[in-house]
């Protein structure tokens, strides 16, 4: 005999059978989702106003001739003109060349941190000295570097004292050497931050591992290569991320104080070109375009860094 759906609903459940309140669970899930949307709405509104809207405005103004007062629509051809501009490619080349300083900005602090970790004589004093660049404004570092590399500055005075007076040079006044001086100053500026970061990583290293390796006859180099470096992998990756970001978007103060982007465009980076184009030449539309190019580059670099950080998770 066929059993109707009504009879099935009236059939009592067996003792011990599991009861699954599907309706109640789905209702609770929907309520939680609605509450989650309500709670995240202020953050979404803030992100939209502070990030999405300005980026949208930058995209619009990048296709215009805007002097801060009047706007003339050009269209996507503005991007074509920018990519045919040799100045922009020269500036991007400067950014790429500055990346050559990144290995030194990581390697030197790593060596310093390893030596300080050994607690050599006066290591506390040296730790304070190496941390000093982090506590000083980059504007001050730029002023000191400008005096150091100038023709009548500290570098040439040291050469005179060593008997190399014929080797006087003005690194900041020469197009072929100004970027080198900027890169050296950038390396010095990152020493404190990266050294402290590596010291933090070394503080978490179990000393028994090094002791066991020494008992087994391992040399200092093998301990550094097979124990210290693998342990510091995440800290090195984090320092790499910070240094790359700084090389692309934190050199404005150094460039402004030391060279002003010159001689010519030899020390102009993309971020400084945005400033020059917008505030020195009053071409705000083109400056917005350069800013978007820098934004795209940083997004690509950020994706690469995220993949690097998550490679061994």
pLDDT digits (tens, 9 = 90+) for 253-293: 999 999 998 888 999 999 999 999 998 888 899 999 999 99
Please, which residues bridge with residue 127 across strands? none
> For residue 288, which of 49, 46, 68, 48 has the smallest C-alpha distance?
68
C-alpha distance from residue 106 to each of 109, 191, 223, 252 (Å): 6, 8, 19, 21
Average pLDDT of the segment spanning 39-53: 89
The CATH code that applies to domain 82-293 is 1.10.3720.10
CA torsion through residues 252, 257, 262, 266, sign = negative
Least confident of 7-16, 91-100, 214-223, 236-245: 7-16
C-alpha distance from residue 118 to each of 105, 203, 206, 231 (Å): 21, 11, 13, 16
Please, which residues bridge with residue 65 across strands? 72
Please tell me the predicted confidence (pLDDT) of residue 10: 47
> What is the rounded distance in angstroms from the CA atom of residue 178 to the CA atom of residue 256?
13
Q: How far apart are the first and last CA of the chain?
A: 60
Residue 133 near residue 191, CB atoms below 8 Å: yes
Percent of the chain clearing pLDDT 90 (strictly above): 31
Length of the chain in residues, anyone? Answer: 313
* Domain range summary for the chain, segments of one domain joined by +: 82-293
**What is the radius of gyration, based on Cα positions, of the chain?**
29
Backbone angles phi, psi at 229, to 5 degrees: -60, -50
CA torsion through residues 254, 259, 261, 265, sign = negative
Give the containing element (helix H, strand E) for 64: strand 64-66
Please tell me the predicted confidence (pLDDT) of residue 284: 92
Average pLDDT of the segment spanning 204-208: 83
Give the containing element (helix H, strand E) for 73: strand 71-73
Is pLDDT above 50 for 233? yes
> The tokens of 170 are what?
């003005």
In tens, the pLDDT along 52-74 reads 898 999 999 999 988 888 888 98
CB neighbour class for 74 (10 Å; exposed up to 12, middle 13-18, buried from 19):
middle
In tens, the pLDDT along 140-198 reads 999 999 989 888 888 888 888 877 767 777 888 888 889 999 999 999 999 988 998 99
Q: What secondary structure letter does DSSP report for 71?
A: E
Is pLDDT above 60 for 83? yes
Percent of the chain clearing pLDDT 70 (strictly above): 90
Please tell me the predicted confidence (pLDDT) of residue 1: 44
C-alpha distance from residue 16 to each of 9, 20, 23, 221, 274 (Å): 18, 12, 21, 66, 72
Please tell me the predicted confidence (pLDDT) of residue 312: 53
Is pLDDT above 60 for 8? no
Please tell me the predicted confidence (pLDDT) of residue 117: 83
> What is the rounded distance in angstroms from the CA atom of residue 189 to the CA atom of residue 142?
9
């Amino acid at each position: 005999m066929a059993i109707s759906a009504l009879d099935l609903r009236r059939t009592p459940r067996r003792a011990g059978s599991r009861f699954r309140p599907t309706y109640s669970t789905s209702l609770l899930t929907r309520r939680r989702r609605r509450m989650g949307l309500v709670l995240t709405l202020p953050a979404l509104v803030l992100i939209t106003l502070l990030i999405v809207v300005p980026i949208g405005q930058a995209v619009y103004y990048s296709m215009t001739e805007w002097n801060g007062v009047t706007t003339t629509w050009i269209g996507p051809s503005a991007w074509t003109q920018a990519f045919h501009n040799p100045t922009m490619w020269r500036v991007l080349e400067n950014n790429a060349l500055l990346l050559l300083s990144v290995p030194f900005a990581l390697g030197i602090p790593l060596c310093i941190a390893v030596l300080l970790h050994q607690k050599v004589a006066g290591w506390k004093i040296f730790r304070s000295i190496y941390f000093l660049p982090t506590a000083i404004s980059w504007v001050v570092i730029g002023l000191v570097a400008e005096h150091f590399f100038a023709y009548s500055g500290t570098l040439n005075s040291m050469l005179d004292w060593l008997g190399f007076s014929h080797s006087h040079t003005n690194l900041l006044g020469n197009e072929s050497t100004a970027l080198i001086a900027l890169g050296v100053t950038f390396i010095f500026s990152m020493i404190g931050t990266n050294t402290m970061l590596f010291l933090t990583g070394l503080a978490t290293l179990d000393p028994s591992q090094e002791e066991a390796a020494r008992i087994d006859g391992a040399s200092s180099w093998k301990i550094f290569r097979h124990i210290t470096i693998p342990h510091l992998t995440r800290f090195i990756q984090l320092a790499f991320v910070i240094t790359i970001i700084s090389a692309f978007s934190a050199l404005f103060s150094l460039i402004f104080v030391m060279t002003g982007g010159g001689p010519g465009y030899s020390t102009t980076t993309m971020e400084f070109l945005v400033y020059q184009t917008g505030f020195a030449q009053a071409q705000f539309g083109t400056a917005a375009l350069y800013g978007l190019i820098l934004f795209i580059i940083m997004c690509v670099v950020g994706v690469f860094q995220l993949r690097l950080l998550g490679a061994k998770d």
